[in-house]
Structure 1
Amino acid sequence: MKIMVIVAHPNLNDSEKNQALLSELRKQPDTHIRDLYQEYSNWSINVEREHQLLIEHDRIVFQFPFYWYSCPPLLKKWFDDVLTFGWAFGPEGENLKGKEFMIATTTGGSENEYRAGGRNWFTISEYIRPIQSTIARCNGTFLPAFVCYNSSADALKDEAKRYAEFVRNSQTTLAQ
């Protein structure tokens, strides 16, 4: 299985969590890691190239910091520019059919903060439903999300190993 990880972090070099997660992923075979903010620092997305990369990979992982209850703005622009009518959905928009998609996100809060009655009121699964719906509309298969909550430095190494395993072996789809 060919896996592409699209990392969308505006300050990736300063992110201890995301760097740890990526460090473990880089050890995995058939895993292509891309830094969206580095590749498109001018915010001009090469749609044809993105289409080709999506076609070439079986599983696509969107890795990003949970950013105001959503994804960072360049990833939102990527969705808007790349997942186009007639290519990703609509008549003849079958290019993503059978592709697997996964979200991997990091938070500054604990898991208890992301629940009913918690500080953030809702679960991460509830907050990422718009992305899940986008993938479903594009005929993709949405896999369970990986969430790295506020981990201690000691726990981060184990969390990174768990992440690499999760990305490679997750097969359970969420109800659509």
Structure 2
Amino acid sequence: MALMILAHPDFDHSIANKAISAELVLKMPDLEIRNIHHLYPGYQIDISAEQAALLRHKLIILQYPMYWFNMPAILKIWFDQVFSYQFAYGSKGNKLKNKKILVSMTVGQQEENFKLENHFLIHDFLQTVKKSAEYAQMDYLGYIALYGVSPVAGIAKEERIAKTKQHSLKLFNLIQQYR
């Protein structure tokens, strides 16, 4: 089974993140989705509940929009509190060992803005997630990114919807591969 940690601060108005999670639920009824912003609108994370969810699954998917070249604040808080000493690291902190973690993120800007010649590589922005996963002895599987999903990106709504469906299918196939 897989677990999706969904971290969109304005999920009710989301198009891409909402569509991605909805598509996956249709294809994978056993997928557990924890919408942490809905669960913890005051940012008071139930650490025990989150750790229990992590323990139930072999594959963890982080689904979120890129905010200012980073993860949304609630996901950072979630990491800070849930990946705790003697759970995720420390002499007895091996609870996440060998679990797999995959990042699926949406990016408002077009992909060409993240090419080497522009000095912005998504890979670089995800080093903290990668290193956190490795420190917790998890297998970091990398990321998939859906670019140009903001109306400001200048892409027609129909094209954004088509891209979102393609991303969902790609994510579904990756999940099947690692389950």
Residue in structure 2 matched with residue 130 of structure 1 by the alignment: 128
Residue in structure 1 matched with residue 22 of structure 2 by the alignment: 23
Q: Is the 8 A contact 1:21 1:164 kept in 2?
A: no
- Output the CA distance in 2 between the equivalents of 1:32 and 1:12: 17
> Is 2:144 aligned against 1:146?
yes
- Deviation for aligned residue 1:85: 1.2
- Deviation for aligned residue 1:170: 4.7
> Is 2:55 aligned against 1:55?
yes
What is the DSSP-based 3-state SS (H/G/I as helix, E as strand, rest coil) of the residue aligned with 2:142?
coil
- Output the CA distance in 2 between the equivalents of 1:127 and 1:56: 28
Residue in structure 2 matched with residue 158 of structure 1 by the alignment: 166
- Output the CA distance in 2 between the equivalents of 1:23 and 1:165: 15
- Output the CA distance in 2 between the equivalents of 1:62 and 1:155: 19
Q: Is the 8 A contact 1:101 1:140 kept in 2?
A: yes
What is the DSSP-based 3-state SS (H/G/I as helix, E as strand, rest coil) of the residue aligned with 1:26?
helix
- Output the CA distance in 2 between the equivalents of 1:154 and 1:130: 30
- Structure 2, unpaired ranges of 5+: 150-159
- Output the CA distance in 1 between the equivalents of 2:166 and 2:125: 26
Which deviates further from its counterpart, 28-37 or 8-17?
A: 28-37
- Structure 1, unpaired ranges of 5+: 172-176
TM-superposition CA deviations, 1:65-100 (whole Å, max 9, x none): 011111000000000011011111011100000100
| Misfit runs of 4+, over 4 Å | none
Q: After the TM superposition, which residues 1-176 of structure 1 pair with which residues of structure 2 at under 5 Å, given as runs?
A: 2-27=1-26, 28-118=28-118, 121-150=119-148, 152-170=160-178
More helix by share: 2
What is the DSSP-based 3-state SS (H/G/I as helix, E as strand, rest coil) of the residue aligned with 2:103?
strand
- Output the CA distance in 2 between the equivalents of 1:159 and 1:53: 25
- Output the CA distance in 1 between the equivalents of 2:31 and 2:174: 13
Percent identity over paired residues: 26
- Deviation for aligned residue 1:138: 0.5
- Output the CA distance in 2 between the equivalents of 1:75 and 1:123: 20
- Output the CA distance in 2 between the equivalents of 1:83 and 1:127: 19
What is the DSSP-based 3-state SS (H/G/I as helix, E as strand, rest coil) of the residue aligned with 1:143?
strand
Which deviates further from its counterpart, 100-109 or 28-37?
A: 28-37
- Output the CA distance in 2 between the equivalents of 1:155 and 1:64: 16
Name the Cα RMSD after superposition.
Answer: 1.5
Q: Is the 8 A contact 1:12 1:19 kept in 2?
A: yes
**TM-score, normalised relative to structure 2:** 0.88
TM-superposition CA deviations, 1:107-133 (whole Å, max 9, x none): 011221112222xx2211111001100
**TM-score, normalised relative to structure 1:** 0.90
- Output the CA distance in 2 between the equivalents of 1:128 and 1:156: 21
